[in-house]
Amino acid sequence: MAFTPDEAVAARVAVVVDVLRATSTIAQALASGYRRVFCCRDVEDARALRDALGEGLLGGERHAVRIPGFDVGASPREFLEPRAETVIFSTTNGTRAVLAAAAACELVLLGSLLNLEAVAAAAGDGGDDVCVVCAGFQGTFALDDAYCAGRIVALLPGARTDAAVACEALARAFPTALDGLHARTYGPPGLEDDIAWCARENTLAVVPRLARMFDGAAEILA
């Protein structure tokens, strides 16, 4: 269990969680018909990758605001209809967490409440060596990610670390997923519709996973 990307440790399987909003949005994009999503660390990396590929929808945010010049932001509601085959994505916390997990773990999955049971089943199929990696908020603990991680951990087999037990206990403290996500103390106002969207459970069967690294970006497929 890693509460921030810097705490990610080598494991057979990593489940990356940035429930508000990157991993929820990537799951929604792939479920909606986008073929692949590239996760990039920096804005310049995303722009350079689109130039190299010659195609792709630029999506992402910094501090919850769409990046200037990008086609879309990071709301899952912006990805309900495919506008291209490829999304090139860069966010404040989530895409960096994906890259950190890719550097440490053999199999990288992306988890959210939207695909809660599907991602837990896929991670459990990989055996007991699973690390849930929270994106956190600017390198620190984020309650919303820990809540979602606790929901995933509760569905996994095998022994738990103390951190995983703490996540499970935290998740049980909230009567609903929406309560768990609203308990966060960071972030700007104006995300209420996205929070409600991301709090829905098991609406998607897709399990985004790392296919390969390409020009420093993580290519994610369903």
Residue 135: give its domain's CATH number: 3.90.1560.10
Q: Given this model, what pLDDT does residue 2 score? A: 97
Verdict on whether the full-model pTM lies above 0.95: yes
Q: Given this model, what pLDDT does residue 185 score? A: 86
Order of strands across the sheet that contains 105-111: 65-66, 57-62, 86-90, 36-39, 217-221, 209-214, 105-111, 11-17, 130-134
Q: Given the structure tokens 């970006």, which residue do they identify?
A: 217
Q: Determine the 3-state secondary structure of 104 from DSSP.
A: helix
Residue 148, domain extent = 5-221
Q: Given this model, what pLDDT does residue 144 score? A: 97
The Cα–Cα gap between 95 and 74 comes to 11
Q: Given this model, what pLDDT does residue 5 score? A: 96
Give pLDDT tens digits for 75-100.
999 999 999 999 999 999 999 999 99
Q: Given this model, what pLDDT does residue 189 score? A: 81
Residues of the chain with pLDDT under 70: none
Number of domains in the chain: 1
